[in-house]
């Protein structure tokens, strides 16, 4: 447990876009203080460190071994998730690691076991769980407003950018997979969060536009529970207009979340009820303003540490999402 009267001292490994995004959140939390930033590019590390008023290094081991640090944010490409996270955990640090939790289920399982063995909290970066539309949708589902669930349909995609296929995400040794391991991770996690465990998963992959073969720029998947409930997922790097759509249908109605703010459009959640032979009735709530999911996710992580409980979207959730992804990969090769 961390004394919230004092600062939670944090180290960040990885000073790219995610590192900057996470650091900006820390600046807004009185209980959190960024102490040290590590990146193999010292200019990148210093840029973020100077912005935050902390130290910079090229050696991530300095972060995990610094005694005053309580928690480590792992914001690197996936190939470094396991060595950094394991070292942090073994040195008594709680870890929030970006998704995917690792490159494969075996690495993720090792991370989860280490956290359990050392009494540390391991959280996977599933910030979509903290979007207001998603939270409202799940609240309605949990309350039974739409009855027993029938199916989920999730579409999540971006169009990339010039040179997208030349970035680290196109290297299987670094990324572990393509778009299924990128935005597809969120779709898999949300499907589990709403519907529970799946005992079947099949999929098709395609490399339609970006030069990322053998990785995929589009992933299509079907997941099924032991009750016969199905979630369909399409994650795309060729969605030329950014899109997020998450629909949940039950016996008595449906909830739909569209948009995530910013380039995905205003986030809104719609509740509709099953009605026969009468005009359709829907209730829609719009959530305007900036994306606060990163802030809420950090708050959940800190609260879980202080309450000595598992955080929402923990290491096990990251592991289960990876298991589903790899089952989909295996089925796509048959």
pLDDT at 7: 78
User: Which tokens belong to 227?
Assistant: 């009750």
pLDDT at 2: 46
Query: What pTM was computed for the model?
Result: 0.95
Please state which CATH class domain 8-127+294-313 belongs to: alpha beta
pLDDT at 321: 99
Sheet bearing 149-157, strands edge to edge: 200-206, 218-224, 230-236, 149-157, 243-250, 253-258, 267-273, 282-287
pLDDT in tens, 57-82: 999 999 999 999 999 999 999 999 99
pLDDT in tens, 270-318: 999 998 878 888 999 999 988 999 999 999 999 999 999 999 999 999 9
CA pair distance 325, 119, nearest whole angstrom:
28
pLDDT at 4: 43
pLDDT at 311: 98
Please, are residues 115 and 317 in contact by the beta-carbon 8 Å criterion?
A: no
Through-space distance between the first and last CA atoms of the chain, rounded to whole angstroms: 48
Which CA distances in Å does 197 have to 188, 189, 283?
11, 10, 29
Please, are residues 269 and 136 in contact by the beta-carbon 8 Å criterion?
A: yes
The alpha carbons of the chain give a radius of gyration, in whole angstroms, of 20
Of all residues in the chain, what percent carry a pLDDT higher than 90? 93
Please, are residues 321 and 193 in contact by the beta-carbon 8 Å criterion?
A: no
CA pair distance 289, 257, nearest whole angstrom:
16
Angle at which helix 315-332 crosses helix 183-195, to 10 degrees, equals: 110
pLDDT at 175: 97
Instruction: Report the 10 Å Cβ neighbour count for 122.
Output: 28
pLDDT at 86 over 80: yes
Angle at which helix 105-118 crosses helix 315-332, to 10 degrees, equals: 170
CATH topology of domain 128-290+322-332: Dihydrodipicolinate Reductase; domain 2 (3.30.360)
pLDDT at 279: 80
Of all residues in the chain, what percent carry a pLDDT higher than 70? 98
Identify the band that residue 239 occupies on the pLDDT scale cut at 50, 70 and 90. Answer: very high
pLDDT in tens, 132-188: 999 999 999 999 999 999 999 999 999 998 998 999 999 999 999 999 999 999 999
pLDDT at 1: 45
pLDDT at 289: 87
Identify the band that residue 5 occupies on the pLDDT scale cut at 50, 70 and 90. Answer: very low
Domains in the chain: boundaries: 8-127+294-313, 128-290+322-332
């Amino acid at each position: 447990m961390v004394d919230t009267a004092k600062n939670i001292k944090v180290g960040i490994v990885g000073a790219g876009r995610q590192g900057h995004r996470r650091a900006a959140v820390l600046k807004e939390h009185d209980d959190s203080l960024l102490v040290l930033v590590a990146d193999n590019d010292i200019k990148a590390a210093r840029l973020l460190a100077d912005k935050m008023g902390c130290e910079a290094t090229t050696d991530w081991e300095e972060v995990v071994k610094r005694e005053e640090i309580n928690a480590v944010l792992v914001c690197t490409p996936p190939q470094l998730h396991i060595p950094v996270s394991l070292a942090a955990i073994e040195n008594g640090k709680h870890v929030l690691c970006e998704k995917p939790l690792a490159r494969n289920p075996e690495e993720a399982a090792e991370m989860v076991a280490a956290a359990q063995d050392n009494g540390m909290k391991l959280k996977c970066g599933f910030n979509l769980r903290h979007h207001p539309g998603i939270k409202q949708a799940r609240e309605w589902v949990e309350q039974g407003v739409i009855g027993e669930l029938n199916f989920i349909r999730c579409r999540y995609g971006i169009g990339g950018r010039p040179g997208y296929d030349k970035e680290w995400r196109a290297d299987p040794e670094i990324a572990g997979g393509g778009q299924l391991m990128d935005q597809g991770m969120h779709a898999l996690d949300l499907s589990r969060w709403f519907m529970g465990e799946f005992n079947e998963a099949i999929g098709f992959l395609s490399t339609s536009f970006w030069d990322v073969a053998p990785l995929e720029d589009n992933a299509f998947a079907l997941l099924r529970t032991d009750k016969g409930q199905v979630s369909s997922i399409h994650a795309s790097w060729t969605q030329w207009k950014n899109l997020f759509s998450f629909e949940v249908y039950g016996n008595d109605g449906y909830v739909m979340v569209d948009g995530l703010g910013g380039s995905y459009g205003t986030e809104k959640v719609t509740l509709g009820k099953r009605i026969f032979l009468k005009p359709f009735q829907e209730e829609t709530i719009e959530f305007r303003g900036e994306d606060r999911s990163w802030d809420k996710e950090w708050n959940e992580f800190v609260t879980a540490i202080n309450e000595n409980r598992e955080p929402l979207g923990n290491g096990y959730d990251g592991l289960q999402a990876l298991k589903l992804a790899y089952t989909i990969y295996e089925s796509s090769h048959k």
